[in-house]
Amino acid sequence: MNTPFTPGIAAERLGVSDLQENFADLHAPLDRHEAAVAADRCYFCHDAPCVTACPTDIDIPLFIRQIATGTPDAAANTIFEMNILGGMCARVCPTEDLCEQACVRELAEGKPVEIGRLQRFATDIVMAKGVMPFNRAEPTGKNIAVVGAGPAGLSCAHRLAMLGNDVTVYDSQPKAGGLNEYGIAAYKTTDDFAAREVDWLLSIGGIEIKTGMALGTDLKIDDLVGGFAAVFLSVGLGGVNALSVDGDNKDGVDDAVSFIRDLRQASDLAALPVGRNVVVIGGGMTAVDAAVQSKLLGAQQVTIAYRRGRDAMSASRYEQDLAASFGVNLLFNVQPKAIHGNGSVAEIELEYTSAENGKLTGTGETIRIAADQVFSAIGQTLTSDGGLKLDGRKIAVTNAGRTSRDGIWAGGDCASGGDDLTVTAVAEGRDAAMDIHKTLNGDI
């Protein structure tokens, strides 16, 4: 039986059984028959647009054909050759905007081949066996530092190790995994998959992980350059932008990143407090993940408030519709003006906006909605750049992640040019590893 709603931020809004149901796998994995049927829909295009749309360049028609012919292990190897984190990407990649959107079936029928679920089917089979399909090359004698154990750093470390290099990976958090471990909605990656994937990836050998080590405090860039043959920075974006409105220091105002991190690390979801009326400020995936999970924890009213129109949201239309399907209200063309309450949040005041000549301005018209918990999801910032040249707010890179300083590469969310997706970070880490190895050893 559900625990009755109580005012303010409280734990145990829902019972254990309800929470288990709410946070179950968003998309159940395909069984063998379902995978065979799904694979049979692929046209196996020669100039497949889905491959062009994949940031990691996986040969999608090939791996689907391998599934169709009853060789899922071979399909997994095809995926892992290009994307060693193919298991996680199968769960979190916005396939609706990438490979599946480009699928010929989507263009012709409005129903693409289920590429993401087929990728999960194949990769899960190999990972469940504990098999690492790649062997290390002969040792090169080179030791490379990777700073950041998120998707880009892990991808880089694995490829470097596979090519025979020794790799030391540093991360500021207690666990490796980065965004995959701390920043993705729990219903997208269940059963501790992120940690299991890290353990599987490390089975290649030659990779040492050191946690609790942050760039700029525990690690100095000059020391890294002096102690390693090369350095790859994949530190992500650790800083969180503040709302910067009156009342944003009241109890009940927090950043969505911290909320998602705490939820992902919670051993008992029932003990995690959540508001009755929750408002999330922002229009990206973090905003959607925070809003949906607030609802799944038992919040009664959850609203995403975004300053521009629906089409400008960086969260895909699929994710927007997913949020709405869980009962999240989406409010567009509003920006926070003030947060009201006596010590704790009671209401948030929002101002309507309009765009004039591409510039967003407030109209002066405001509304107030009840809120005992407000999450900010308006972007993150780089916390340490290692003294490297920047491109805007990120580390400037050229070619395969080369920075302004010899011997240092960068990739993932901290580097310029990417689109802040797990799959893109994996590709950048892989490509940087190839360039580092070639630079140090002269061959591939």
What are the chain's domains?
A: 16-23+240-376 (3.50.50.60), 32-128 (1.10.1060.10), 143-238+382-441 (3.50.50.60)
pLDDT at residue 178, rounded to an integer: 97
User: What's the Rg (C-alpha) of the chain?
Assistant: 23
Q: Is residue 299 within 8 Å of 275, Cβ to Cβ?
A: yes
pLDDT at residue 356, rounded to an integer: 85
pLDDT at residue 13, rounded to an integer: 95
- CB atoms near residue 399 (< 10 Å): 9
pLDDT at residue 417, rounded to an integer: 86
Q: Which residues contact 87 (CB under 8 A, 6 or more apart)?
A: 120, 123, 124, 127, 193, 197
What's the token pair of residue 193?
Answer: 């998959």
pTM of the full predicted structure?
Answer: 0.95
pLDDT at residue 444, rounded to an integer: 60
Nearest alpha-carbon partner for 185 in 313, 77, 285, 331: 285
Q: Which residues contact 383 (CB under 8 A, 6 or more apart)?
A: 216, 235, 237, 238, 239
Pairing of strands 394-395, 390-391: antiparallel
Question: 390 φ, ψ to 5°?
Answer: -110, 155
SS (H, E, C) the chain: CCCCCCCCCECCCCCHHHHHHHCCCCCCCCCHHHHHHHHHCCCCCCCCHHHHHCCCCCCHHHHHHHHHCCCHHHHHHHHHHHCCCHHHHHHHCCCCCCHHHHCHHHHHHCCCCCHHHHHHHHHHHHHHCCCCCCCCCCCCCCEEEEECCCHHHHHHHHHHHHCCCEEEEEECCCCCCCHHHHCCCCCCCCCCHHHHHHHHHHCCCCEEEEECCCECCCECHHHHHHHCCEEEECCCCCEECCCCCECCCCECEEEHHHHHHHHHHCCCHHHCCECCEEEEECCCHHHHHHHHHHHHHCCCEEEEECCCCHHHCCCCHHHHHHHHHCCCEEECCEEEEEEECCCECCEEEEEEEEEECCEEEEEEEEEEEECCEEEECCCEECCCCCCCCEECCEECCECCCECCCCCEEECHHHECCCCCCHHHHHHHHHHHHHHHHHHHHCCC
CA distance 259 to 294: 9
Terminal alpha carbon distance of the chain: 60
CA distance 106 to 95: 12
- CB atoms near residue 105 (< 10 Å): 18
pLDDT in tens, the chain (444 residues): 344 444 689 999 999 999 999 999 998 899 999 999 999 999 999 899 999 999 999 999 999 999 999 999 999 999 999 999 999 999 999 999 999 999 999 999 999 999 999 999 999 999 999 999 999 999 999 999 999 999 999 999 999 999 999 999 999 999 999 999 999 999 999 999 999 999 999 999 999 999 999 999 999 999 999 999 999 999 999 889 999 999 999 999 999 999 999 999 999 999 999 999 999 999 999 999 999 999 999 999 999 999 999 999 999 999 999 999 999 999 999 999 999 999 999 999 999 999 888 899 999 999 999 999 999 999 999 998 999 999 999 999 998 999 999 999 999 999 998 788 999 999 999 999 999 999 999 866
What's the token pair of residue 69?
Answer: 């012919």
